[in-house]
Chain A
Amino acid sequence: MKGLGASKAVTALMLAGLVLLPLYSQLSGNIFILTLFTRIVILALAAASLNLIMGYGGMMSFGHAAYLGIGGYAVGILAQEGVGSGFIQFPVALAASAAYALVIGALSLRTRGVYFIMITLAFAQMAYYVASGLARYGGDDGLTVYKRSDFSGLINLSNRTQFYYLCLVCLLGVIFVIWRIANSRFGLVVQGLRSNEQRMQAIGFPAKRYQLACFVISGTMCGLAGALLANNTDFVSPAVMYWTRSGDLMVMVILGGMGTLFGPVMGAVVYLLLEEFLSQITEYWALIMGPLLLLIVLFGRGGIMGLLGRVGRG
């Protein structure tokens, strides 16, 4: 029980930090930290959505960044075409992500293991090249979002603090939903399929439809992250869908702890802070980052959450 205490304490500390961050930013006049953490919270949301299929569902998707792009382009393209309302942009972003997930999932879930990893990767790269080809929307150079999503006075996305809190609420909302799902009938079936698909079939569960539904839910959540990300950077480009970005998300999930509720958030915070910190020290920051990640994964099975569990137990 003590072990559980350690990871709980650290999680609580992290959440308190995230909630109080704008206050600190205001008092210290450090605006940069708020911008940095807005990005961290958005990518934590993306990582949390990936964790739903990867950690709980055992589906190693290597193309999750595609949804960041789809959500982002939905916002960017609509803004360009004169539809500035967030009440339209966000639902479209989610629906487009869900539709993409449905098609890609239906095709990818015919395969297993390495083939599943490769086919999800291939589809994401396809989305990347399609976006590069959208000449009307900036092609390779990307698309500038001149005006952030307009929620008719309900919330002002151009206000840094309000936008940060919107992202944080979205993150916590998504984690709440994942928590409910994980313990629901549906969640138990999906986790059972991760554990032993043959057994689940034998007791009467058709595997694919549950996995596909899970895949779609996860993709939709990540589309939300994409829509927020486009608003955060006022810009969307094919680069957000590049396979290295999908890899980053996977690293965040594994680093924090697959199949744990707050692991991906922890992973995103640690990964992106390390990246920021190390890249200020040296140009060759990846040389330090790589071995560091290796060590954590090698010695901390179950990621940071797993490590905390064992530290607490002594």
Chain B
Amino acid sequence: MAEPLLRVEKLVRRFGGITATDNVSLDVASGELHAIIGPNGAGKTTLISQLTGHLEPHSGSVSLGGRDITYLPAYRRCALGLARSFQITSLLLDFTAADNVALAAQAHAGTSFRFFANARKERGLRDAAHAALDRVGLLHRADVVVSKLSHGERRELELAVALASKPKLLLLDEPMAGLGVTESQRMVKLLQELRKEVSIVLVEHDMPAVFALADRISVLVYGRVIASGEPAAIRANEEVKRAYLGEQHVVRHV
């Protein structure tokens, strides 16, 4: 088997007495859409934060394309082809949609220690921005300031920003969070398109979306991966069923 694009090995992260990431190992193959699901508080965001470099693990390792990135800062990982979207939308609110995306393109197109030429007139950057916006269906909103965009549009813009850095691996932290039914359907459609071009790790609560999209699913419960496999296998897995159906029951007694 070829080297996986992303390999996570025995990752551990504790917060005080709580082990939020408990010996997590998983592989994401090139071209795969790998979904991570789990009940609230299962440690999904903690795991993602360690993949993106916003949080350091206590032990274990993360490697991207065979290169150890466990302790690299976020901006270096991005340069290696790892892009993310945030669970809670995180954009430059006082910039236009096009500026947000163009900055992501700029980060990967030569030095930004240029002090004199007008960056908004750089054709290459603007074209890249418009292409990424077009990709997510936001081209008509390119020159609108982000604070005036709707929640759904901001979620799409998050994706466009991530795409503009031409990543090898896209980490999407609940891209459907807070979206209405039609918006969710649009997002699923969009992800179905994107997955042809880029490997994706998808953390998501929306189960129909996950089962429609994923090649493989890992189920996280209390920081541990309790099952990992193809959607059909996960759907049939007794332990997974128990974790989900018994969730409230368990929470009440702990």
Which of B114-122, B178-186, B240-248 touches A? Answer: B114-122
8 Å CB contact of A192 from B75, B95, B118, B165: B95
Q: Are A204 and B118 in contact (CB under 8 A)?
A: no
Contact of A204 with B104 at beta-carbon distance under 8 Å, contacts A183-B118, A199-B90 already known: yes
Interchain nearest-CB distance for B39 vs A (Å): 26
Q: Are B106 and A185 in contact (CB under 8 A)?
A: yes
Whether, in the assembled complex, A181 has its beta carbon less than 8 Å from a beta carbon of chain B, the answer is yes
Whether, in the assembled complex, A4 has its beta carbon less than 8 Å from a beta carbon of chain B, the answer is no
In the bound complex, residues from chain A placing their C-beta under 8 Å from that of B78 are 201-204
In the bound complex, residues from chain A placing their C-beta under 8 Å from that of B99 are 188
Contact of A199 with B91 at beta-carbon distance under 8 Å, contacts A183-B120, A204-B107 already known: yes
Interface centre among A184, A200, A202, A210 (most CB of B within 10 A): A202
Q: Are A180 and B119 in contact (CB under 8 A)?
A: no
In the bound complex, residues from chain B placing their C-beta under 8 Å from that of A192 are 92, 95, 103
Main secondary structure of the interface of A (DSSP, over half): helix
What mask results when residues 204 to 235 of chain A are scored 1 for a CB within 8 Å of chain B, else 0? Answer: 11100010010000000000000000000000
Interchain nearest-CB distance for A76 vs B (Å): 31
Bound complex: CA A153 to CA B112 (Å): 41
Bound complex: CA A187 to CA B73 (Å): 23
Q: Are B119 and A204 in contact (CB under 8 A)?
A: no
Give the A-B pair count, Cβ closer than 8 A. Answer: 94
Whether, in the assembled complex, A279 has its beta carbon less than 8 Å from a beta carbon of chain B, the answer is no
Bound complex: CA A203 to CA B125 (Å): 14
Q: Restricting to A170-210, which residues have a CB under 8 Å from any CB of B? A: 180-181, 183-189, 191-192, 195-196, 198-206, 210
Interface residue count for B (Cβ, 8 Å)?
36
8 Å CB contact of A186 from B75, B90, B114: B114
Contact of A196 with B114 at beta-carbon distance under 8 Å, contacts A184-B119, A204-B78, A204-B104 already known: no
Bound complex: CA A203 to CA B104 (Å): 5
Whether, in the assembled complex, B74 has its beta carbon less than 8 Å from a beta carbon of chain A, the answer is yes
Whether, in the assembled complex, B233 has its beta carbon less than 8 Å from a beta carbon of chain A, the answer is no
Interface centre among A181, A189, A210 (most CB of B within 10 A): A189
Interchain nearest-CB distance for B56 vs A (Å): 14
Q: Are A189 and B103 in contact (CB under 8 A)?
A: yes
Residue in chain A with minimal CB distance to B103? A192
Q: Restricting to A147-185, which residues have a CB under 8 Å from any CB of B? A: 180-181, 183-185
In the bound complex, residues from chain A placing their C-beta under 8 Å from that of B86 are 198-199, 202
What mask results when residues 95 to 112 of chain B are scored 1 for a CB within 8 Å of chain A, else 0? Answer: 100010001101110011
Q: Are B115 and A196 in contact (CB under 8 A)?
A: no
Interchain nearest-CB distance for B100 vs A (Å): 8
Interchain nearest-CB distance for B41 vs A (Å): 22
Q: Restricting to B116-136, which residues have a CB under 8 Å from any CB of A? A: 116-120, 122
In the bound complex, residues from chain A placing their C-beta under 8 Å from that of B75 are 201-202, 204-206
In the bound complex, residues from chain B placing their C-beta under 8 Å from that of A203 are 78, 83, 103-104, 107, 161, 164-165
Q: Are B118 and A184 in contact (CB under 8 A)?
A: yes
Residue in chain A with minimal CB distance to B93? A195
Q: Are A187 and B104 in contact (CB under 8 A)?
A: no
Q: Are B74 and A186 in contact (CB under 8 A)?
A: no
In the bound complex, residues from chain A placing their C-beta under 8 Å from that of B114 are 184-186
Whether, in the assembled complex, B7 has its beta carbon less than 8 Å from a beta carbon of chain A, the answer is no
Bound complex: CA A24 to CA B119 (Å): 41
Q: Are B90 and A198 in contact (CB under 8 A)?
A: yes
Q: Restricting to A100-154, which residues have a CB under 8 Å from any CB of B? A: none
Contact of A180 with B93 at beta-carbon distance under 8 Å, contacts A188-B103, A201-B73 already known: no
Bound complex: CA A213 to CA B113 (Å): 9
Interchain nearest-CB distance for B183 vs A (Å): 22
Q: Are A184 and B115 in contact (CB under 8 A)?
A: yes
Bound complex: CA A203 to CA B113 (Å): 16
Interchain nearest-CB distance for B72 vs A (Å): 11
What would be 30 A-B contacts, judged by CB atoms less than 8 Å apart? A181-B115, A183-B118, A184-B114, A184-B115, A184-B118, A185-B112, A185-B113, A185-B114, A185-B115, A185-B119, A185-B122, A186-B113, A188-B120, A192-B103, A195-B93, A195-B95, A196-B90, A196-B91, A196-B93, A198-B90, A201-B73, A201-B74, A201-B78, A202-B74, A202-B83, A202-B84, A203-B161, A204-B79, A204-B108, A210-B112
Q: Beyond A198-B54, A201-B78, A202-B83: 4 further Cβ-contacts under 8 Å?
A: A185-B114, A185-B117, A189-B112, A213-B113
- Across the A-B interface, the 8 shortest Cβ-Cβ residue pairs: A204-B78, A204-B107, A195-B92, A203-B104, A185-B119, A185-B114, A185-B112, A201-B74
